[in-house]
Amino acid sequence: MYRFLLTPRWWGINLFVVLAIPFCVFMGSWQLGRFEDRAQAHKEAEEKPVVSTEPPAPVGELLPVDKLTSGRVAEATGTYEDQFLVPAREVGDRDGHYVLALLRQSDGSPALPVVRGWLPGAADEAPAPPEGEVSLTGVLQAPEHAGSPGVYKGGGLPSDQVGIISAASLVNLVPYPVENAWVTLTEGQPGNAGLTPVPPAATPDSGLDLKAFQNLGYTGEWFVFAGFVVFMWFRLLRRDAEVARDEALGIAPEGPPQPVAAGPSAGTGAPEEPAAEDREPARAP
């Protein structure tokens, strides 16, 4: 009864099932692993201090900034050049603005954005950065983006203000390259009298965000696909087995009704009118 399994059609079906089920299981397991990695990163981020306890290192060794280097204490040497205000920033539930200066590094690397500190009130003139070469220490931070907390999205800012601290927003304001990271200075830095140090932010993108739950949803989808493949295989097997059993018992498969031929045999009772060329010609009286 199951000899139909040896037909080319069923060889193709079985090959598809043998390949599809392991693929779905593999993809589901991979997505589950991605979710577990994000959950572990979230747990480590909660346990990790905002400021790393590792010793300070030159900023060039910590770039490009990532989840491991964000929060590390960085050291840099150079001269301050351009300075900007970053409006609408809060420190301790008070409104104010950051004082952001670009440090032209002595080794020729791109300029390093440095948040010297915070001033309360409306954006106004900030104290000028110290002249000459300075050596500073600050906490390395990842660049901001439109979804970062506290960024100014209004637009229409004066030329000496910037809403987002990132290389993408700063390269349009200065004629030299800028690092895609920034540091917030710790206390006691030269020339920062009167400025409140800006607390460093936690490492971004390390929590259970929407992407993590998307991975979990994809996990379920792939396992559902695997189950659907098995269900359809059994359904096709059962249908063809029933057809084979009926044929073995001599039961003809049900088919669509055959159309009834037109004509006298159709049971209308009316004789068919002869064609014009078959009619007997009329006789003259």
User: Mind listing the pLDDT tens digit for each residue in 209-238?
Assistant: 677 788 889 999 999 999 999 999 999 888
Judged against a pLDDT cut of 50, whether residue 258 lies above it is answered with yes
DSSP H/E element including 184:
strand 182-185
Q: pLDDT value at position 113?
A: 97
Specify the DSSP class assigned to residue 5. G
Specify the DSSP class assigned to residue 178. B
Q: pLDDT value at position 285?
A: 47
- Looking up tokens 């079906």 gives 13
CA distance 95 to 40: 35
Q: Using 50, 70 and 90 to split pLDDT, how confident is the model at 250?
A: confident
- Averaged pLDDT score across all residues of the chain: 83
